[in-house]
Structure 1
């Protein structure tokens, strides 16, 4: 876990410090600084406390995430070795989740993984380029902010260049149901096992749905001690009730927090500040994510497991049933994967990092992703219309039947958030106020909730460019 920032083209130490202070929550460690003339790089990191240069031609390397090459997680030294040997093209062979910045006195290189698992924004303002993990790092210094696009790299000579796109799923290997289910169980369990072996103080979010339950089931088979699990929601919400069932079945060390409608409204400004979005669906689901991350953090958890990514890989959304054929389904799945970076991945990253908590998503493990992309479409959405068919089969003996076949619910719905927020905002925003706002504003609000969230967002991020980074999912 780390937050990163860079000032390129200006010898401005104060600017870098200002940027890092704004994202101090992304790491409990010291500011790691690399300075060399017109290039300044900074990182907030929990594992190191030193100047970040390699001693080799005075290069500086900062990164966030876990870049993987040849099956091994890369160190700074290995990243630089590959860059110096192969040039910017080395990034085509790097898997995993990452943002990487390399610089010396004459050059710089910036890259972000194809799925955008780790966040990155940038601003080109005259001769200067500013880069940071979050928008809030850039707003004190510029009003020109853009998303650094996933799967691209940026150099002083080539500007932005795509190095890898999100592939459209294509069936590559013929497996029967039993073989495919066994392989998926093995791969997901392997992804979980790596986390448990390499880290202490690991827990897992648990909504009681298939995705998070599969992750917890995999971890429970591996760990010799009960896995800490965490659930939040309104009293008697479906997530709370289902999480209890799964926790009891798997014998986890389960923690839950029942919040009230007033608490949801109380944390809303903090949620929007950290989320950096006013999209209604994203905000509603983020409230629960924020509170469950807070719960885990208070119990001493440093790394939380999440089931994020399963819906996009294994066709978990109801609207996918409308796809006419396998080709259309695969194209829609690729589109969903491309949108993760400012959707579900943004929610998970910001809400966990708000509490200095690292979140690892086993479904986004490179081996799991590769396997999912190569499965036939009918293993994801069955001929009878069952979503995530192969994932259900993979964990059919590890979980209660009612969990395996539970219908998909959006995170904000399962916790009980969506209806409550709609009711509370309807009381705060009169029909007259909303009508006048729509008449006077050039922004096309889709409902009262968006109007309410938008106003909070603009208090924190007034720049038009910040507003334009928001993906309005159901517009």
Structure 2
């Protein structure tokens, strides 16, 4: 994973002014790629790439240049070996997992522009997490794309001089009149000399995206696909399919030429990731070595509800476990840094990103360069506690789809930026497009049974041999959902709400009472939200429309609070006071 930047001019570049700007901007992305910086200029464009070397550390430097093609990629392509076999005629210049993107494009383009179906087919072959910028100097076309679920981040905008900028973070786009997000599952394709820029969805036109439909104007419209209840035999088959698909996804994401670890909160999802990783590595000493250390990492205050479970999982699996201490004071002091690095004012993202960022900081200092984590499961399977209030299967399914397609604004943004701010790559096995396709339309009464969220996932790994659990201890496997920002310590959210309320009422009460005038877009509904918004607007003025705000579905009966904490739900074992 890396930082990427392109400065695209509609007229020939004269001199080095764009190159100088690219060099300066690359310094602002250095945290994303501390291992090296590459700059390349063409007649109409200048590219910058800051590299975090995970695959082929001694080669694979970017931008890639091969004849008429220039490519910058932030990402990992997990099926790159298969793609190289599919496109053997291409003159590969590295062992990088990203270079097959050029091979696919080259085979399709043949000095002509591509159709939507060709682009969707090409991107649909990529199994990974990625954002890329590709420039064809023969046709002057530019192709920009982002992975289906927005695991990586990507922005674009235009300056008053008509320079189009595309980058991993909007901090390098101060000169742009406005900045837009390239949504997950979308691409841009335009002539650099005569740019007409439109964000076009591609994912629904790929084999793994058939569960999604987009309206003609690009707005999200999700088809309801009734799946029905299952017999016990059918459920057993589905459980085995889920288990196999998830294990395959985890194993693919182990490819790395550098030290890696696992973020282990002690919740169901990260614990399953850790379990599958450990089982696979222990079963393949010929690849990883006999008795090799497998590192797991947790963070929390002394009264964290997660830490005891993380310790239990680490002991059960035999990992080398690292427990990082978190204090509310450290978290409060880090808030301005978090908003700056995450480029958001969303409440739940900031609450969860703060300990996540501090954990990543510590992991990177230990020499680890890649970690696996458990994001995405709650969106796919309806794991948040408010999903218990879904009135129908249709409402439940459509809410899951909405949550999955918005991941790039929330959990994926947090996962990417809080780790990459520290030069650490994060991979998310649940967000494999094949796994999502398998699970997204499962009936709500199969996903959730006996009042237990993600029941079908838990049951898939509820396996014993000689009376001993194969994957996880039972009390971890069947533990109630706890959101990361809650379980770090309940005092974290309590303190955030109280301290930001006092700060706003003491210093900004007049502004808060005029918040609808000050912030007509995503108007803050609480003093905590207002506090974050003020910091964001100071750092990123006129960029408010790049952010969405997470809240439970308050249209459903029984959900009266828009606070994103899981503890506001009545089903939580220790509810938050309103």
Q: So what's the TM-score if we normalise by structure 2?
A: 0.76
Q: 1:83 aligns with which of 102, 105, 109?
A: 105
- From the superposition, tell whether residues 435 and 362 of structure 1 become closer, same or farther in structure 2 (CA, over 3 Å): same
The alpha carbon displacement at 1:342 in A equals 0.4
Instruction: Flag the 1:53–1:390 CA change in 2: closer, same or farther, 3 A.
Output: same
Distance 2:62 2:337 in 1: 32
Distance in 2 (CA, whole Å) between partners of 1:322 and 1:178 is: 26
Structure 2 counterparts to residues 20-169 of structure 1, below 5 A: 20-45=26-51, 46=53, 47=57, 48=59, 50=61, 52-56=63-67, 58-67=68-77, 72=82, 75-87=97-109, 88=114, 89-92=118-121, 93-95=124-126, 96-105=128-137, 106-126=140-160, 127-139=162-174, 141-157=175-191, 159-160=197-198, 161-165=200-204, 167-168=211-212
The CA RMSD measured in Å over matched residues stands at: 2.5
Secondary structure of the structure 1 residue equivalent to 2:518: coil
1:358-399 residue CA offsets vs partner (Å, 9 max, x unmatched): 0001111233223223644433223x3321111111222321
Counterpart check, 1:253 vs 2:320: yes
Aligned equivalents of 2:305 and 2:536: distance in 1? Answer: 30
Equivalents in 2 of 1:267, 1:373: separation in Å? 36
**Contact 2:226–2:394 (Cα < 8 Å) also in 1:** no
Residues 161-199 of structure 1: per-residue CA shift (max 9 Å, x gap): 222246347578976333322332232222222333544
Q: Which residue of 2 is the match for residue 180 of structure 1?
A: 238
Cα deviation, residue 51, structure 1: 5.9
Please say if 1:472 is aligned against 2:501. Answer: no
CA distance in 1, matches of 2:296, 2:368: 10
Alpha-carbon deviation of 1:334?
0.7
Bigger mean CA deviation after superposition, 238-247 or 406-415: 238-247
Match of 1:426 in 2: 501
What's the CA shift for 1:50?
4.6
Is the contact made by 1:66 and 1:73 (CA closer than 8 Å) also made in structure 2? no
Instruction: Give the distance between the partners of 1:303 and 1:473, measured in 2 at CA.
Output: 27
Q: 2:268 matched to which residue of 1?
A: 210
Matched, 1:268 2:341: no
Answering whether residue 279 of structure 2 is matched by residue 221 of structure 1, we say: yes
Q: Report the Cα offset of residue 408 of structure 1.
A: 0.9
Structure 2 residue runs of 5 or longer lacking an equivalent are: 85-96, 213-223, 283-291, 463-468, 552-561, 563-578
**Structure 1: stretches of 5+ with no match in the other structure:** none
CA distance in 2 between partners of 1:268 and 1:340 (Å): 22
| Count of residue pairs brought into register by the alignment | 470
Q: Could you tell me how far apart the structure 1 residues matched to 2:339 and 2:507 are?
A: 25
Assess, with a 3 A threshold, how the Cα gap between structure 1 residues 430 and 70 changes in structure 2: closer, same or farther.
closer
The CA distance in 2 between the partners of 1:345 and 1:387, in whole Å, is 21
Q: CA deviation at 1:151?
A: 2.1
Measured in 2, the distance between the counterparts of 1:196 and 1:94 equals 19
Alignment partner, residue 4 of structure 1: 4
Secondary structure in 2 matching 1:130: strand
Q: Deviations over 1:141-161 (max 9, x none)?
A: 224111112222222246322
Query: Is the 8 Å Cα contact of residues 39 and 104 (structure 1) preserved in structure 2?
Result: no
Farther off after superposition, 166-175 or 121-130 = 166-175
1:284 to 317, 336, 351: 351
Residues 68, 375 of structure 1: alpha-carbon distance in 2 compared, 3 angstrom cutoff: farther
Secondary structure of 1:327's match? helix
CA distance, structure 1, for counterparts of residue 98 and residue 474 of structure 2:
46
Alpha carbons 1:203, 1:304 under 8 Å: kept: yes
Aligned residue for 2:465? none
1:331 aligns with 2:410: no
Corresponding residue for residue 313 of structure 1:
380
Alpha-carbon distance between aligned partners in 2 of 1:281 and 1:369, rounded to the nearest angstrom: 23
Going from structure 1 to structure 2, the CA distance change for 1:325 and 1:82 (only over 3 Å counts) comes to same
Report the Cα distance in structure 2 between the residues aligned to 1:430 and 1:62, rounded to whole angstroms. Answer: 47
Specify the structure having the higher radius of gyration (Cα): 2
Distance 1:122 1:247, change over 3 A: same
Shift in alpha-carbon separation, 1:68–1:247, aligned structure 2, 3 A: closer
Residues 352/76 of structure 1: CA separation in 2 closer, same or farther (3 Å cut): closer
Check if 1:13 corresponds to 2:13: no
Change (3 A) 1:196 1:162: closer
Q: Which has the higher contact order (CA 8 A, sep 6+)?
A: 1
Distance 1:329 1:197 in 2: 35
Instruction: Sort the Cα spacing of 1:36 and 1:311 in 2 relative to 1 into closer, same or farther, 3 A.
Output: same
Partner Cα distance (2:149, 2:255) in 1: 25
In structure 2, the residue corresponding to 1:289 is in which secondary structure?
helix
Counterparts in 2 of 1:392 and 1:308: CA distance versus 1, 3 Å: same
Q: Cα deviations across residues 260-296 of structure 1 (Å, max 9, x unaligned)?
A: 2221122212111111111111101111111121222
- Structure 1 distance, partners of 2:36, 2:503, is 42
Contact 1:67/1:73 (<8 A) preserved: no
CA shift in 2, pair 1:50/1:345, >3 Å: closer
